[in-house]
Structure 1
Amino acid sequence: MSASSLEAKKSSGLELFGMPWPMFLVLTAIVLLSAFLGTLPNNMIGGFSFMIVTGTILSYIGDHLPIVKTYLGGGPIVVIFGSAALLYFGLIGEGTVEVVNNFMKNSNFLDFYIAALITGSILGMNRKLLINAAVRYLPAIIGGVICALGLAYIVGTLIGYGGEQAMFFVAIPIMGGGMGAGAVPLSQIFASETGQSAESLLSVMVPAVALGNALAIVFGGLLDRLGKKKPSLSGEGQLMVNRINDSSDADRENLKDTMAITMRNLGIGLLMSTAFFNIGTIIGKFVPAIHSYAWMILAVAAMKILGLVPEKFEICCHQWFNFMMSNLTSALLIGVGITYTDLGEVLSAFSGAYVILVFVTVVGAVIGSAVVGRLVGFYPIESSITAGLCMANMGGTGDVAVLSAAGRMNLMPFAQISSRIGGAFMLLLSSFLLRLFGLG
């Protein structure tokens, strides 16, 4: 047998966190033994090691559970609720919980992750695509958001749930861009503005995001069927009316990582993302009416549009963002589950009214983005899938699931605009609405 065939056979086995499963399980056993004995370091070493191994295992389980992986978001949902359940049933020791809480809150791993996410995702987009999206695509997103929030407010008032409660704690988290870039930073913004704890806020938001993601995937398949029955509403994967191949144009405009990934590039990305985060906190000190996350987003977007960051360093930030997303997302979600998700409060949040509000929010996203999309020259089906459902799902994994269900994977560039720029827009909008309604 040749060396290449041996290597192929070796690489075809089960891997966890990029390594053969026996090796990963040995490392996991070491970490869990340390947690059991109470010797897990109460710092970033203990935090990283425990959160990575448990996050990897729960994510693998979620990605392979038939119904969960297809309709409920797969790994991210199982990581969050699985870790919250472990805590709820007393299967995680108090010392380990303290390590995770310290790492998430006192060491601010959450801010560190979000800084990389915002900087890399915005600078990783092509400038031309960013500007063009703002001119034509963002109105479709805004149409979906307004309709979703408006319907949730109206229905919430009519059924006695409360209009503001429905809009802020159900509709906005659903339209916020998923967990890591949506519900988690939203809970921080809401906590700083309202004085409530981020934990209790997130416990209400998380089930809304999960249910919204599941409904978005189902609606993706239904819209595909509607497009086949009503061909006039669908471009069969083409977003713009009277344009031959807009998706390939968008593909060509995407930033290409032409540089090799090096340790220095990752270091540059780390420094720049944290520096941009500091820009947000500086502006927030003088203009506290808007959260520092929002100011950071505006600063990064402005520098991208004005071309003030050399492409080399944009790519460094994008590579750092990819590193964080690939290696530490599951770890972050373990922290979200243990530190910010009270399973008891999550279970108590479920009710018939709650499910109805999630449903009307997703329906509103579909209707609003379809109507406005038609007005700006988009096919309604494609507009409602990308500018509507890809706002209501769970970010990147939700984009894949929705577009797969709709049979329109070629529209991924536009789905990514919804997840990146649309999610950032929701952070800005939430800060404004909190002030408008007198909750901040």
Structure 2
Amino acid sequence: MKSMPSEYILPIEKKTTEKLWPNGWWRLMEMRIGIIPLPVYLLLLALITGFISTGKVPSDISVSIALLAVGGFSCAELGKRLPVMRNIGAAAIFATFIPSYLAFKHLLPGMVLKNVVDFTKSTNFLYLFIASIIVGSILSMDRTVLIKGFIKIFVPLAAGSVAAAVVGTAVGTLLGLGAYHTFFYIVVPIMAGGVGEGAIPLSIGYSGILHQAQGDVFAQVLPPVMLGSLTAIMLAGVLNFVGKKYPHLTGEGRLQPGEHDEMHPAEEEGPGNTDIGHIAAAGITAISLYMFGLMCCKLFDFPAPVAMLFIAVILKLSRAVSPQLQQGSFVVYKFFSTAVTYPLLFAIGVSMTPWDKLVSAFNVLNLITIVSTVATLMATGFMVGRRLNLYPIETAILNACHSGQGGTGDVAILTAANRMQMMPFAQIATRIGGAITVTLTLIAMAQLK
């Protein structure tokens, strides 16, 4: 048999080489853990392990970002692969509560734990995230329905709060917890607006009225806050699943029929049609509005995120922001919702979610009372929203944010529901709804003393 001429062999070898490199490598790079290409993910794991073995993990921002990305997307990936739980927000739950457990059990290396906690508390990048999400979603929202939506959400929020207070207190009383204890120490903390804006001022007020140690009171009101938030995350995930089965019940993040983003479809694909300068300008605009909120907080004791939200609404309604800057804001919003959510939840789990406090609420009577309170809050929002010609699933999710763990709970709930664009409304439900709840509750307790 004659051998094949060399000119016929070389192209075959060349074709084989091209198939393995770079095409095969490119396919490997497109396999991702969250947003991290698989080879990069493995490299980061190896580098983190190497730093730990040397006895010192660098504290600079680049290393902190890598730790949060690897931890957050690893936990989220586990949740996304569970057959049933992935449809009800398992990614957000895992990204928050697995690191909380690992930190409590000292299963995270001490150097990693210190790096994450120090970075989270010193940078407070939760509010950078919230600022970017709020400004981006507000500036890309339909102007004609924006103000109507802000007015309308107070109706299902108020109705849900009243119904949840009645039902939750009744359930706890029937279970033998006592009406007074159930209302003031279980039901109200759930709807108080989280830890910093809810449980802490609530415990300070209780301790002053009842002449008890603030730390002891705080230890009682914190577990319902955390377990209520966990319940809201899971139920929000369930509602996201229901919305896929019954699309007429949901606007997929839009609050009312007829609402639409002002970005054109081509512009929603990403930064390809948006100048990088506009994106950078949008980022500094979001930071500027957050600083405006901080100043309002110092001068008027008004929550910074809410002040920032209101000024963003004013800028949108007055057409003070150019279309190009609106497009840049939309890209900033998409970037933070895609790339930062799960690393942020990992940071929250490690540094702001004490596992022991969460577990202490896990007794049957408390659990039934808390679940019935949150479920009533959301169910009332669903029904009232439908009567007001709002999408019922969206209004139920907003009511869920009223029972969340403050800004951190809003992030987790909206992530589980896949509706991060509702952050502005969620902040209203959490901050203003929580402030009203705390104020009225302290007045009531003072009268009942």
- Once residues 35 and 262 of structure 1 are traced to their aligned partners in structure 2, the CA distance between those partners, rounded to angstroms, is 41
Equivalent residues of 2:361, 2:367 under 8 A apart:
no
**Alignment partner of 1:25 is 2:37:** no
- Once residues 321 and 202 of structure 1 are traced to their aligned partners in structure 2, the CA distance between those partners, rounded to angstroms, is 31
Equivalent residues of 2:195, 2:222 under 8 A apart:
yes
TM-score (norm 2): 0.74
1:333 counterpart residue number: 345
2:187 counterpart residue number: 167
1:407 counterpart residue number: none
Indicate the structure (1 or 2) with the bigger Cα radius of gyration. 2
1:129 counterpart residue number: 145
Please tell me the residue identity of whatever aligns with 1:282: M
Q: Using a 3 Å threshold, how does the CA distance of structure 1 residues 334 and 204 change in structure 2: closer, same or farther?
A: farther
TM-superposed CA distance for 1:154, in Å, is 5.0
TM-superposed CA distance for 1:124, in Å, is 2.7
1:54 counterpart residue number: 71
Give deviations 1:331-378, integer Å, cap 9, x for gaps. 111111111111122111212233223332343234433553455356
TM-superposed CA distance for 1:212, in Å, is 2.6
Q: Using a 3 Å threshold, how does the CA distance of structure 1 residues 221 and 212 change in structure 2: closer, same or farther?
A: same
1:282 counterpart residue number: 295
Matching of residues 103-118 of structure 1 within 5 Å? 103-118=119-134
Q: Using a 3 Å threshold, how does the CA distance of structure 1 residues 157 and 312 change in structure 2: closer, same or farther?
A: farther
Equivalent residues of 1:122, 1:301 under 8 A apart:
yes
TM-superposed CA distance for 1:320, in Å, is 1.3
Please tell me the residue identity of whatever aligns with 1:437: T
Equivalent residues of 2:414, 2:422 under 8 A apart:
no
TM-superposed CA distance for 1:64, in Å, is 0.6
- Once residues 35 and 98 of structure 1 are traced to their aligned partners in structure 2, the CA distance between those partners, rounded to angstroms, is 12
**Alignment partner of 1:93 is 2:99:** no
1:250 counterpart residue number: 259
2:381 counterpart residue number: 369
Alignment coverage as a number of residue pairs: 392
Give structure 1 stretches of 5+ with no counterpart.
Answer: 174-185, 228-235, 241-245, 401-414
Give structure 2 stretches of 5+ with no counterpart.
Answer: 1-14, 205-213, 402-411, 444-449
- Once residues 224 and 266 of structure 1 are traced to their aligned partners in structure 2, the CA distance between those partners, rounded to angstroms, is 32
Q: Using a 3 Å threshold, how does the CA distance of structure 1 residues 223 and 150 change in structure 2: closer, same or farther?
A: farther
Q: Using a 3 Å threshold, how does the CA distance of structure 1 residues 29 and 424 change in structure 2: closer, same or farther?
A: farther
- Once residues 224 and 7 of structure 1 are traced to their aligned partners in structure 2, the CA distance between those partners, rounded to angstroms, is 35
The percent of aligned pairs where both chains have the same amino acid is 18
TM-score (norm 1): 0.75
TM-superposed CA distance for 1:247, in Å, is 7.1
1:324 to 319, 322, 336: 336
Give deviations 1:307-328, integer Å, cap 9, x for gaps. 3222322222222122122111
Q: Using a 3 Å threshold, how does the CA distance of structure 1 residues 390 and 14 change in structure 2: closer, same or farther?
A: farther
TM-superposed CA distance for 1:110, in Å, is 2.1
User: Once superposed, what is the RMSD of the aligned Cα atoms?
Assistant: 3.7
- Once residues 33 and 244 of structure 2 are traced to their aligned partners in structure 1, the CA distance between those partners, rounded to angstroms, is 35
More off after superposition, 259-268 vs 27-36? 259-268
Equivalent residues of 2:188, 2:441 under 8 A apart:
no
1:429 counterpart residue number: 433
- Once residues 132 and 220 of structure 1 are traced to their aligned partners in structure 2, the CA distance between those partners, rounded to angstroms, is 24
Equivalent residues of 2:95, 2:349 under 8 A apart:
yes
**Alignment partner of 1:207 is 2:212:** no
Please tell me the residue identity of whatever aligns with 1:78: F
2:327 to 287, 311, 315: 315
- Once residues 111 and 82 of structure 1 are traced to their aligned partners in structure 2, the CA distance between those partners, rounded to angstroms, is 23
Give deviations 1:255-303, integer Å, cap 9, x for gaps. 7536624542332222111111111111112211x32222222222232
2:62 counterpart residue number: 45
- Once residues 252 and 222 of structure 1 are traced to their aligned partners in structure 2, the CA distance between those partners, rounded to angstroms, is 23
- Once residues 221 and 358 of structure 1 are traced to their aligned partners in structure 2, the CA distance between those partners, rounded to angstroms, is 22
More off after superposition, 326-335 vs 362-371? 362-371
2:248 to 237, 249, 259: 237
Matching of residues 133-144 of structure 1 within 5 Å? 133-136=149-152, 138-144=154-160
Give deviations 1:104-160, integer Å, cap 9, x for gaps. 111222222222222222223121231232354553444334433453355456633
- Once residues 38 and 243 of structure 2 are traced to their aligned partners in structure 1, the CA distance between those partners, rounded to angstroms, is 40
Please tell me the residue identity of whatever aligns with 1:55: G
Please tell me the residue identity of whatever aligns with 2:138: I
- Once residues 112 and 82 of structure 1 are traced to their aligned partners in structure 2, the CA distance between those partners, rounded to angstroms, is 24
- Once residues 416 and 48 of structure 2 are traced to their aligned partners in structure 1, the CA distance between those partners, rounded to angstroms, is 31
Please tell me the residue identity of whatever aligns with 1:208: G
Give deviations 1:396-425, integer Å, cap 9, x for gaps. 44334xxxxxxxxxxxxxx67755414433
- Once residues 431 and 256 of structure 2 are traced to their aligned partners in structure 1, the CA distance between those partners, rounded to angstroms, is 27
- Once residues 224 and 107 of structure 1 are traced to their aligned partners in structure 2, the CA distance between those partners, rounded to angstroms, is 37
